[in-house]
Amino acid sequence: MYDVLSKHAADFIHDGEILDTLDYAAANKSNRPLIESLIDRAREGKGLSHREAAVLLDCDQDDLNEQIYALASEIKHKLYGNRIVMFAPLYLSNYCVNGCVYCPYHYKNKTIARKKLTQEEIAREVIALQDMGHKRLALEAGEDPVNNPIDYILESINTIYGIKHKNGAIRRVNVNIAATTVENYRRLAEAGIGTYILFQETYNQANYEALHPTGPKHDYAYHTEAMDRAMDGGIDDVGIGVLFGLNLYRYDFVGLLMHAEHLEAAKGVGPHTISVPRICPADDIDPANFSNAISDDIFAKIVAVIRIAVPYTGMIVSTRESQKSRERVLKLGVSQISGGSSTSVGGYVEREREEDNSAQFEVSDTRTLDEILGWLLELGYIPSFCTACYREGRTGDRFMALVKSGQIANCCQPNSLMTLKEYLEDYAAPETKAKGEQVIADEMRHVPNEKVRRIAEERLVKIAAGERDFRF
């Protein structure tokens, strides 16, 4: 029986419930009265159940699909405005003991260049990222208890936070490492991480076990229950996701929402972010070998319906996606993107040596961070490097309460403008700076709270004079 409160993966990601949901959605994909009622109710911004969302995903009525896209855009703008949070991945090591068939890190791959960064090399990578203007990183490492133990991860986090270079500093480190114990999650929380991120890859247990034939990641239950352990260990914010293309997308879409529902019910707060990566080329990985790869249209529909179903959860799209694809989904629900990324170990310092073949996957959007910021500004977005919520303790249920009440905008809007101002002063090309200054001037006129606007204006002046305020 489907049990959202159970601690066991087989209960809260229940195969029978997913299959029943898919049948229900297929039977109602042309049910106009039902779909119209779901769209109307979703306008309240309180989300939809996994079963209701599956009906919208399957909807085959063109005019209703247009309403779904319009509603997703409406919800995105209402909750997140035109802010887009920026980050970059930092790959520490590609040593891995798992046999994942879709990832070039798998232990049988003898062609990939294996590498693990020393603390000195990490420092150089961080300085390179700071010189681009980054303030928020997502730390990545393969699963290898000998080469990448938790002590190495914790030492690396300490190194990253300790580096101040010119006006640069990494203000928040999110962590994407393998499922681990409550005690290790507690140590990560004590190290001051932001969000703990772990992708499920697929929620279909049989397919999951086939895709992970060897190694500790083969244990479906241990992996799927990781977010419960992370939150038990004191990590407020967790990020979930699947790798679309490994399994039938409808199945994983439903599983993803069921996981979000479970965390909300069992832990009092749902996922802080949902990521929606698609399978893409890598060293010895050919996406053509995966028959469930999804089209751009299906990808856009998935993003739109997730935004409607879980309106208060951030959505992430990386440089796996092309500029064209990212532009489309930014309008439909995505609130965070990476920029200027390298998926190679040591790839920021030694970009000219990308042929060393240590990358996890090929980057589709290869533009520099400054080029991406200029593009976002042209599209009417505010690139944000803000990490203030973590610094002020607005995480977990405290963050969600502010979002649901609409009060978070009083923090996010001015802070995004101030961190953009820092970027413009310290790193931007002249053309990007001109665009950004105009956007800041325009947006400041629309800050509704007079006190907040006055404080922001004062801080903008101080930033222009060279002062940096690490509260943002």
Q: pLDDT tens across 99-143, in order?
A: 999 888 888 888 888 999 999 999 999 999 999 999 999 999 999
With beta carbons less than 8 A apart as the criterion, state whether 57 and 254 touch. no
Percent of the chain residues past pLDDT 90, beyond the cut: 77
pLDDT, tens digit (0-9, with 9 covering 90-100), for 247-294: 999 999 999 999 999 999 999 999 999 999 998 666 666 777 777 889
Higher-confidence residue: 341 or 280? 341
In this structure, the number of other CB atoms found within 10 A of the CB of residue 26 comes to 14
CA-based max dimension of the chain:
62
CATH number (2.60.120.260, 2.30.180.10, 3.40.190.10, 3.20.20.70) of 81-366 reads 3.20.20.70
Out of 333-347, 355-369, 388-402, least confident range: 388-402
Residue 438 backbone dihedrals phi, psi, to 5 degrees: -65, -40
Phi and psi torsions of 139, nearest 5°: -80, 130
Residue 197: count of CB within 10 angstroms of its CB: 25
**pLDDT above 50 for 440:** yes
Cβ neighbours for 68, distance < 8 A, ≥ 6 positions apart? 39, 56, 59, 301, 304, 305, 308
DSSP assignment letter at 28: T
Q: How many CA atoms lie within 13 A of 296 on its CB side?
A: 10
User: Average pLDDT of the chain?
Assistant: 92
pLDDT digits (tens, 9 = 90+) for 2-60: 899 999 999 999 999 999 999 999 999 999 999 999 999 999 999 999 999 999 999 99
What's the CA dihedral at 80, 394, 375, 176 to 10 degrees?
-120
Q: Give yes or no for residue 403 having a pLDDT over 50.
A: yes
Distance (Å) of CA 56 to CA 73, 96, 102, 312: 15, 39, 29, 18
* pLDDT value, residue 464: 92
What local confidence, expressed as pLDDT, does residue 354 receive?
Answer: 47
Residues 6+ apart with CB under 8 A from 134: 86, 87, 88, 170, 340, 369, 385
What whole-number percentage of the chain has pLDDT above 70?
91
pLDDT given at position 392: 61
User: Tens of pLDDT along 55-75?
Assistant: 999 999 999 999 999 999 999
Q: What is the pLDDT of residues 163-210, one digit of tens each?
A: 999 999 999 999 999 999 999 999 999 999 999 999 999 999 999 999
Q: Given pLDDT bands bounded at 50, 70 and 90, which one contains residue 394?
A: low
Tell me the three state secondary structure of residue 141.
strand
Indicate the range of 112-126, 225-239, 385-399 predicted with least confidence: 385-399
Whole-number pLDDT of residue 111: 87
Query: For position 20, what pLDDT does the model report?
Result: 98
Q: 332 pLDDT exceeds 60?
A: yes
Buried b (16+ CB within 10 A) or exposed e, 318-356: bbbbeeebbebbbbbbbbbbbbbbbbbbbbbbbeeeeee
Tokens of 12: 């809260």
Rounded Cα–Cα distance for residues 75 and 54 (Å): 18
Residues 6+ away with beta carbon under 8 Å from 206:
none
Mean pLDDT of the 135-153 span: 97
Instruction: Say if strands 273-275 and 314-317 run parallel, antiparallel, or are unpaired.
Output: parallel
Distance (Å, whole) CA 44 – CA 30: 23
pLDDT at 210: 96
- pLDDT for position 395: 61
Up-side HSE of residue 203: CA atoms within 13 Å toward CB? 27
Which range, of 27-36, 68-77, 399-408, 432-441, averages the lowest pLDDT? 399-408
- pTM reported for the whole predicted model: 0.93
Q: Which residues neighbour 400 within 8 Å (Cβ) at sequence distance 6 or greater?
A: 269, 270, 312
